[in-house]
Structure 1
Amino acid sequence: MPAPSTMEVVQKSSYLNGWVGDTRPVNSMEIANLYLIVDTLLIIEALSIGFAQTSDSEEVVELFQKGASVAKKQYEALGEILKQDELPIPPSYAAEISGSKTRLFSDRIMVNHIAGLFGTLLSQYGFSLGTIMNHELVASYSTQISKAGAFSEKITRFLIDHEWLEKVPGAISR
């Protein structure tokens, strides 16, 4: 991005366009949040693939493969937004995963880790929505939130069914 030499003021309400008609390029806040989300998706994809190859449980492997698929599809969708404005798309880390099948962590730890990363992803989407002034991004993020949320619920149900989810302390029900 070119560094501005002077302050610029938005002079037209068309700055908010995005559903139909002319759209503006993404601004620096939108770019920063977009890259943060994309980086989280790349980490989720790589860890899910790596964890899947070390688990002995077919059920856990399927869960990780689904997580990697959700992350990859979202990465591709958000990459299209970067492409539209001729911004670089970070490469996937999938090529960095070794072929090792040596088990380092329990399934419980690995599944909880991926669940936490999906929670982080949803938080990042939510934070980013508060800084967006581009309707195209609002629509894209809303779609991705629903997909990530659906998988997050699936993984949470899996953790509950296996009694791997610890209850977070909370207020006393009076």
Structure 2
Amino acid sequence: MTKSTTPPFSDKLMMFHTRALSTGGIATYGGAIPNVLRHDLIPQFTRLTAELGKYGDKGAEIMIKHKWLEEQPSAANRDKLINHKTKK
């Protein structure tokens, strides 16, 4: 124990580790679904995978907000591209 009030690890590092753990959890549940012999567990694994996905999305939003992570690639806004071409 120390009397220090400064955290030993940065928020950025902790966020990256938390995000990595949630991604690992999704992979684990995804790998378990086709291999489980108890069919009553499949809906539970599916639900937990979806919950971890939402948790990971919130973490990504926090990381983007703090500029620790670039915004995820997304499809081009076709309507915006069409409107931009017609205005010229």
Question: What's the TM-score, normalizing by structure 1?
Answer: 0.36
Matches within 5 A, 1:6-85: none
Partner of 2:62: 158
State the SS of the aligned residue for 1:135: coil
Q: 1:166 offset after TM fit, Å?
A: 5.7
Partner of 1:90: none
Matches within 5 A, 1:137-148: 137-148=41-52
CA RMSD of aligned residues (A): 1.9
- Greater Rg by CA: 2
List alignment gaps of at least 5 residues for structure 2. Answer: 72-88
Partner of 2:22: 118
List alignment gaps of at least 5 residues for structure 1. Answer: 1-99, 168-174
Give me the whole-angstrom Cα distance separating, in 2, the residues matched to 1:118 and 1:130.
Answer: 20
State the SS of the aligned residue for 1:108: helix
Q: Percent identity among equivalent residues?
A: 28
Give me the whole-angstrom Cα distance separating, in 2, the residues matched to 1:104 and 1:129.
Answer: 38
Count of aligned residue pairs for this structure pair: 68
After the TM superposition, list the runs of 4 or more consecutive aligned residues in structure 1 that deviate by more than 4 angstroms: none
The aligned amino acid for 2:32 is S
Partner of 2:7: 103
Partner of 2:77: none
The aligned amino acid for 2:58 is K
Give me the whole-angstrom Cα distance separating, in 1, the residues matched to 2:70 and 2:11.
Answer: 15
Give me the whole-angstrom Cα distance separating, in 2, the residues matched to 1:113 and 1:147.
Answer: 18
Q: 1:101 offset after TM fit, Å?
A: 5.0
Question: What's the TM-score, normalizing by structure 2?
Answer: 0.68
Give me the whole-angstrom Cα distance separating, in 1, the residues matched to 2:5 and 2:48.
Answer: 31
